[in-house]
Amino acid sequence: MSQPSSQLRDIPSIAQLLHHPSAQDLLRDYSPALAANALRAATDAVRDSILAGQAIQSNPEHIIDEARSSLQQGEKMQLRPVINATGILLHTNLGRAPMAQCAGEAAKQAAIHYTNLEFDCLAGIRGDRLDPIKSILRDITGAEDALVVNNNAAAVLLVLSSIAQGRDVIVSRGELVEIGGSFRIPDVMTQSGCMLKEVGTTNKTRLSDYEHAIGETTAALMKVHCSNYKMIGFTQSVGVKELTALAHKRGLPLIHDLGSGALLPLTPYGMPMEPTAKESLSHGADVVCFSADKLLGGPQAGIIIGKTKYLNAMRTHPLMRALRADKMTLAALEVTLKLYRDEALATCQIPLYRMLLEDIECLTKRAETFLALLHPRLQTLCSIVTSQAQLGGGSAPGEILPSIAVSLQPDHISLNQLYLRLIGCEYPVIARIHENSLLLDMRTLRDEELSLLTQSLTAALAHKEQA
Ligand SMILES: *Cc1c(COP(=O)(O)O)cnc(C)c1O
């Protein structure tokens, strides 16, 4: 083998590489600057390997090939659509609720055009970006006033900062939730500059517990939805109605963090009772906040509704600017909220409701259609089984949605290997391993995705050896 110094000398220059015949298609597909950068990086890698004493190819074809594959890799969107076959409808890791087509289109139009975001086209003067949404939210929830921020965590932060800074807020010990990541009610309280006054016990809190805790420094009573857990057995908590009556008697507001933010009653969809935003207001809550990308089925946002007196303080709070939602979110949210003016429209256009409403027969048919698309050899590895889907996203914990899945038992690779290959596909598929099989739940899939799913599964089961 030749010496490193002579090997280094053999590395072609960038100019030589750019003039090499094999580089011509690179220059056709990419700009000269991008091509030169990729060639430089590939050349540097060769030089590093030689210096590290590794045997390496430094011929131009090899370097150009490396540059081409890194450019191709860089072209691929890292953030891209995936197929959710987990059966979890609101999967936070998978971006929660998929939006309605019309909402996605509205976000796109807002993104690529100028918009009247803060311009009142009727009066020709400066407008408020939240005005359109405010009037729709008032229509559909009966609220006096409404605001939108980036997500519900931001909403809680803004509500507490503007209402209770420097004073205390009374919350039941049974409702000091952690939502996941770093959102914990006690920590958000600290961040908002208010003091948490815990009352009651983990499993039982009575009205008198709140009553005894109210003092000179109390700013508000707060109720938090136990989104992602359920207490059963010897439990007691105080409802919004009773809490509001107490708060108002003492001249205090009641804040309700509704969490998942249902705008429609969910019981007709086979789900347990979730308080709706409208109910919370009609029970007297002064400020209600919730996420827009959970049960509402819209973009990531936090909605705050309630009394103008409190919302005005939020509007002028310095945090408002830091937490405000952008034009794409507001466009998608406006369209999504408009669907709720007609329940029939909302439930047929918002994907979440379609997923909730599909019956077992329809899911079975989807499973059969999928199986028919597979190669007969792969069909022998599959069976149609009953499965359990879940709402997810911190809604209806422990509640199961009956579902249908295609169960896979691969014959030459492990379940774990198949799972990993599916997520590594060109069109990633997120499945679920349950007992001794890999499940593809039909409830979170769309018929339009079946052919892509077939391609991904076929690819994942094809390469036998390179496990
Ligand atoms: C989900 C949730 C939050 C956080 O909402 P994000 O929109 O994820 O920021 C806060 N409080 C409750 C009760 C929740 O369920």
**365-395: per-residue pLDDT in tens?**
999 999 999 999 999 999 999 999 999 877 7
> How many A from CA of 80 to the centre of ligand 1?
24
Task: Take atom 12 of ligand 1 and give the residue whose Cα is closest.
Answer: 259
Question: What is the mean pLDDT of the segment spanning 95-124?
Answer: 95
Distance of CA 137 to CAs 107, 175, 292, 344, Å? Answer: 19, 27, 12, 18
Task: Take atom 6 of ligand 1 and give the residue whose Cα is closest.
Answer: 152
Quote the mean pLDDT of the chain.
93
Task: Take atom 2 of ligand 1 and give the residue whose Cα is closest.
Answer: 259
Task: Take atom 14 of ligand 1 and give the residue whose Cα is closest.
Answer: 259
Architecture of the structural domain at 83-91+354-460: Alpha-Beta Complex (3.90)
Question: What is the mean pLDDT of the segment spanning 256-274?
Answer: 87
Tell me the C-alpha distance between 1 and 379, whole Å. 53
CATH code: domain 100-349 is 3.40.640.10
Does residue 466 register a pLDDT over 60? no
Every domain range in the chain assigned CATH 3.90.1150.180? 83-91+354-460
Structure tokens at 50: 């030689």
* Residue 334 CB partners (closer than 8 Å, separation 6+): 106, 132, 133, 136
The letter for the amino acid at 69 is: S
Counting from 1 in the atom list of ligand 1, the atom nearest the Cα of 224 is 13
Residue to mutate, 149, 152, 237, 240, ligand 1, most ligand atoms under 8 Å from C-beta: 152
Question: What is the mean pLDDT of the segment spanning 39-60?
Answer: 90
pLDDT, tens only, 70-81: 999 888 888 999
* Residue 19 CB partners (closer than 8 Å, separation 6+): none
Question: What is the mean pLDDT of the segment spanning 334-340?
Answer: 98
Counting from 1 in the atom list of ligand 1, the atom nearest the Cα of 292 is 7
Structure tokens at 372: 């028919």
pLDDT, tens only, 184-227: 888 899 999 999 999 999 889 999 999 999 999 999 999 999 87
Every domain range in the chain assigned CATH 3.40.640.10? 100-349
